[in-house]
Structures are given as structure tokens and as C-alpha cells.
A and B are shown apart, each in its own frame.
Chain A
């Protein structure tokens, strides 16, 4: 059975800290890995990763994929209170019609 595991489940940091969120997966026919940010409503897309070792970056957020070790990390530097959210990792597999989501990491940034 395809599985996506995120850690930690929750994290509390102070503004300005750097955080690393982890996502590991065990799937057949891996196609891509996606990161979403979910505040109180719809998940919003952050990154899609298909190749190992290539960092994707957007402002203070960056992510990288390791297809040999089957994991990805999402880094957030100089965290702000607006970064508080649930960060979801999802995997797209060939032959499936849906995305497989992990349980998410709840990040809380306190001033």
C-alpha cells in the first residue's frame, strides 16, 4: 500500500527560527512529490519535485527531493507568524488518479 509519512506532526518555533519539515514515502511508480500549505481552508500549492537533488526555492521556502532515500524536506528560513499552517506532502504515482497525502505537519510560529 502506498504510504506518505510526515514528521514531525507538530512544531512550535519562535519568529526568525529556521525549520525543516520531513516527508518520506513508500510508493510504487513514483512520479512526483508535492508540498502544500494549508491554513484554515484549501491547501495551496508550494512546490512540485520530480528530480533528485534539484532544490526548488520560493522566497524563504525551499525544498529538495532524494529519490534514492525516498524523502523530501521543506525548509523555511527566518520564520514569520504568517508561516503558521499545516504543511502537507503529497505523492503522485503513475497509474493512480489521485494524490496520496501525508498527515501534515502543523507549524506554529510564535512572536
Chain B
């Protein structure tokens, strides 16, 4: 399968713990996006990378959130000191440069903070 993959698919954690999610985009895609989707809502943009450079972060991305894409391939999203309000589906998407309208989404990581 050469689509976007995410790991883990599900994560349950206790409030205050740190969690890290991984996204592997389609290999030739330069752009990688992270979105958060809560129940009953559409995906909300968090951040995006062009190759290894993080070029934009939304105001939803508090200082407890950090994302990296160290070699311009896979990306990680870390949430420190998780809160119950962080419970959501975290979606990763990728696209070719100049084709942000054609984003391919991964299956998401569903996070539950108890």
C-alpha cells in the first residue's frame, strides 16, 4: 500500500502524559499536513511542512504541540501534558508541491485522553 499511513491508529492515555504520533506520507509528496478532527466537526488545520521546513502553524497549535519532519519524509506530532480537550482524531495528509487541493489523507490516529 503506497498511501499515507499513520501510527498508532488508536491511543488512550491519561491526562498529563505525553504522546507522539507518526505519519508516513506518499513518498514523492513534498507537502505534509496535520489536521485535527473532533466529533461532529470537519478537519481543522494544525500545521504544514514543505519538505523538512514547517512553514505554517495554526493558532490551534498550542505550545504543548510540536511537529517535526526531520528528513522531509515522515513526520511526528507530539502532544505534551495531554488534556481531555486534546481527545480527537489526528489526520495527516500529503500532496505534491503546487497541488495542495489534491491532498491524500491517512487513516488518522484517534486519541482519547482520560
Contact = CB atoms under 8 A, between A and B. Distances in A.
A5 B114 CA distance: 31
B67 to A, nearest CB: 14
A44 B48 contact: no
A65 B102 CA distance: 18
Interface string A1-17: 00010100100000000
Interface residues of A, number: 24
Contacts of B111: none
Interface string A71-111: 00000000000000000101010000111111110000000
B105 A44 contact: yes
Most buried by A among B42, B48, B104, B105: B42
Chain B contact residues, majority secondary structure: loop
A103 B42 contact: yes
B25 interface: no
B56 A88 contact: no
A100 B106 CA distance: 17
A43 interface: yes
A31 interface: yes
Nearest to A10: B40
Most buried by B among A6, A32, A99, A103: A99
Interface of B: 4, 33, 35, 40-45, 48, 55-56, 58, 91, 100-108
5 closest A-B pairs by beta carbon, nearest first, are: A101-B42, A98-B45, A42-B105, A41-B107, A92-B101
